[in-house]
Amino acid sequence: MPTTPAEDGLVIEMRNVATRFGTHAVHTDVNLGIRKAEIFALIGGSGSGKSTLLREMVLLQRPSAGTVRVLGMDLRNIGDGDALALCRRWGVMFQHGGLFGALTVAENIGLPLREHTQLPPALIAEIAATKLAMVGLAPEVAAQYPAELSGGMLKRAALARALALDPELLFLDEPTAGLDPVSAAGVDALVLQLRGLFGLTIVMVTHDLDLLWQVADRVAVLAQGTVQAIGSMAELSQLDNPLIRPFFDGPRSRAAQAQAEAGEAEQPAGGTTRSTPSKPK
């Protein structure tokens, strides 16, 4: 099994991907490449197929046609052994966290370690405590149950679980959805830190304009079954494609852009500032 990115430097590559559910064609021809240690975002209108694309990258969904390569492996005809080995190399944080309510936070974080390793329980508990600290949660949260946590804490706990196996790739589906601006800014900073400290490649699906402007290196815009463009938010903001303009026009977009530009000038490294969602400009 390869341990390095493909020769072209891409850790994820999708070529001519099509996805149909019955007669509903979600993707007709998707092409994209994601580089090592980049923070890559998928954006698009509701139902454009962002989450489906992410699921295809982590073997939860098979495309109807086309090629998906992850960490040098072609996912099309991957065997069970290789699939299992690959799953250990990525972490996934689902939109609603996906934590098990009957397990404590520490047990939830330890779950991938119990599934994929033979480590003794004491060591698993120690690793879970480390991951908890990594995402900025207090040690006492380990013994709490998901129902006892706030939305922001739940996201962080889910992130800790996604990091349990020290993944090379991290997939985040709507990491800031439903969070207040302060908690969301915390997630922005955390994502940047994870990439900065561990060189993780991070792929995220998000509608969060602040997260996109402040954190994403490159963004792919999905519409009408294909990728309309890929670039930084600043690059995309220059395009006059009518399928892309809605992400940049309007007061919320302009506020997020202005905040990111102001933050670049003022913020210490790793910090982020957030626009007030309703603030007109």
What sign does the dihedral 93-98-100-105 (CA atoms) show?
Answer: positive
Token pair 């064609």: residue? 25
Smallest separation (angstroms) from ligand ATP to the CB of 197: 29
Tokens describing residue 234: 């600043």
Q: Is residue 47 close enough to count as binding ligand ATP by CB under 6 A?
A: yes
Are 155 and 97 contacting, i.e. CB atoms less than 8 angstroms apart? Answer: yes
Stretch near ligand ATP under the rule CB under 6 A, chosen from 42-50, 112-120, 145-153, 247-255: 42-50
Binder among 28, 31, 51, 232 for ligand ATP (CB under 6 A): 51
Token pair 């000038």: residue? 265
Q: Is residue 50 close enough to count as binding ligand ATP by CB under 6 A?
A: yes
User: Beta strand pairing status for 90-93 and 169-173?
Assistant: parallel
Stretch near ligand ATP under the rule CB under 6 A, chosen from 48-56, 145-153, 236-244, 262-270: 48-56
Q: Is residue 48 close enough to count as binding ligand ATP by CB under 6 A?
A: yes
Q: Is residue 176 close enough to count as binding ligand ATP by CB under 6 A?
A: no
Query: Rounded CA gap, 215 and 32, in Å?
Result: 19
Q: Is residue 232 close enough to count as binding ligand ATP by CB under 6 A?
A: no
Stretch near ligand ATP under the rule CB under 6 A, chosen from 39-47, 70-78, 163-171, 186-194: 39-47
Binder among 33, 44, 63, 112 for ligand ATP (CB under 6 A): 44
Q: Is residue 100 close enough to count as binding ligand ATP by CB under 6 A?
A: no
Smallest separation (angstroms) from ligand ATP to the CB of 76: 19
Which residues are CB-contacts of 15 (< 8 A; sequence separation ≥ 6)? 31, 66, 67, 69
Query: Rounded CA gap, 132 and 152, in Å?
Result: 13
Binder among 4, 15, 21, 196 for ligand ATP (CB under 6 A): 21
Smallest separation (angstroms) from ligand ATP to the CB of 97: 15
In the complex with ligand ATP, the residue whose CB is nearer, 45 or 136, is: 45
Stretch near ligand ATP under the rule CB under 6 A, chosen from 43-51, 132-140, 153-161, 236-244: 43-51
Smallest separation (angstroms) from ligand ATP to the CB of 81: 26
Q: Is residue 257 close enough to count as binding ligand ATP by CB under 6 A?
A: no
Q: Is residue 275 close enough to count as binding ligand ATP by CB under 6 A?
A: no
Tokens describing residue 135: 């995402």
Stretch near ligand ATP under the rule CB under 6 A, chosen from 7-15, 47-55, 80-88, 239-247: 47-55
Q: Which residues bind ligand ATP (CB under 6 A)?
A: 21, 26, 44, 46-52
